[in-house]
Amino acid sequence: MSEDPISKAVEKWIQAGRAETDSCRKMHYFNMALDIQPHNVKALNYKGIHYHQLGQYHDAIRCYDAILRGGRVSNPAPVQYNKAITLRKIGEYDVALVLIKRVLKHDPENEQALKAKKELENIFKQQEQSFSSGITRMSESRGADAMYAEWDPPAISTLVSRIHYADWGTYKRQQSFGVDDIKEGVVRDKLESHAYCCGSCDHSLQGICRYGKTKGMRFSERAICKRFRPQKLR
């Protein structure tokens, strides 16, 4: 049975984009394919890859998210890998590592993913060593009696955006579809129970803050400030 005209046209634009060397025309061809089929997985993936090559990492992530949210692929591992290496570019190492582990769960022998996992774990190790070596100096610079004990949490929406999305704009678009009620409920519960607090903040190490205005200060573990971010997954 011959390919239907719509799919044939979409494939034509995708292949034209892949072959094109001019950046603007390449993106134009991928957009032509998506104008016909807005959720075409192949077009979205290649568009994301091109955004990555251009250094437009947040745009690349939006393309990958459009594929992963839709559940349109039976094997999401290649797209998860693409998203992970893009997240690494913007310093979101924790989420990148989570995705890489998902890739390896599906394909334990994936050499690219194994290499990426090792590199990300080395980044975390280097960060911890750096933080540990500087912790005494930070504490002494603020004085042994400096203590932060306020309860001044970020807004629920700010926390959901900070935890789950690459930027505020992406969060607001998702919010307009009403898909974040569960995430907001989880965040609200954790704030109300004080599970989210300085003691569980990614900016803390050995009882001392290492970020922002409270850098170098000791803190009450039941305190919180507007710069709070949950501890990263390892």
Positive or negative torsion for Cα 153, 159, 163, 167: negative
- Whole-Å CA distances, 49 to 29, 39, 86: 14, 16, 9
Given a cut of 80, whether residue 222 has pLDDT beyond it is no
For residue 96, give the CATH number of its domain.
1.25.40.10
Q: For the chain, what is the domain count? A: 2
- Residue 107 domain flag: yes
- Average pLDDT value for residue range 195-199: 87
Sign of the four-CA dihedral 139, 140, 141, 143: positive
Q: What is the mean pLDDT of residues 128-153?
A: 62
The per-residue pLDDT for range 73-111, each reduced to its tens digit, is: 888 999 999 999 999 988 888 888 889 999 999 999 999
The residue among 179 and 214 whose pLDDT is bigger is 214
* Residue 179 included in any domain: yes
Averaged pLDDT, 107-136: 80
Least confident of 27-31, 74-78, 147-151: 147-151
The pLDDT value recorded for residue 169 is: 63
Residues 111 and 134 in one domain: no
Per-residue pLDDT at 200: 86
Of 61, 89, 116, the position where a domain reaches its end is 116
- pLDDT above 90: residue 47: yes
| Residue 124 resides in a domain | no
The answer to the question of residue 121 being in a domain is: no
219 strand-pairing partners: 148
- SS3 category, 2: coil
| Residue that finishes a domain, picked among 56, 90, 116 | 116
The torsion angles phi and psi of 204, rounded to 5 degrees, stand at -105, 150
pLDDT higher at 233 or 167: 167
226 within some domain: no
pLDDT band, residue 206 (cuts 50/70/90) = confident
* Mean of pLDDT over the chain: 83
Contacts of 87 (CB under 8 A, 6+ apart): 57, 61, 93, 95, 96, 99, 166
What pLDDT does residue 172 have?
A: 64
Residues ≥6 apart with Cβ < 8 Å to 233? 94, 95, 97, 98
Does residue 125 belong to any structural domain of this protein? no
Per-residue pLDDT of 8-27, as tens digits, reads 999 999 999 999 999 999 99
State the pairing for strand pair 204-205/208-209: antiparallel
Which of 6-10, 200-204, 218-222, 226-230 reaches the highest mean pLDDT? 6-10
Same domain, 95 and 134: no
pLDDT (mean) for 110-128: 87
pTM of the model: 0.59
pLDDT higher than 50, residue 1? no
Q: Which of 68, 91, 116 is the last residue of a domain?
A: 116
Q: In residues, how long is the chain? A: 234
C-beta separation of 202 from 232 below 8 A: yes
Domain hosting residue 206, numbered range: 130-219
Rounded average pLDDT over 196-203:
86
Which percentage of the chain shows pLDDT scores above 70? Answer: 81
| Residue 212 DSSP code | G
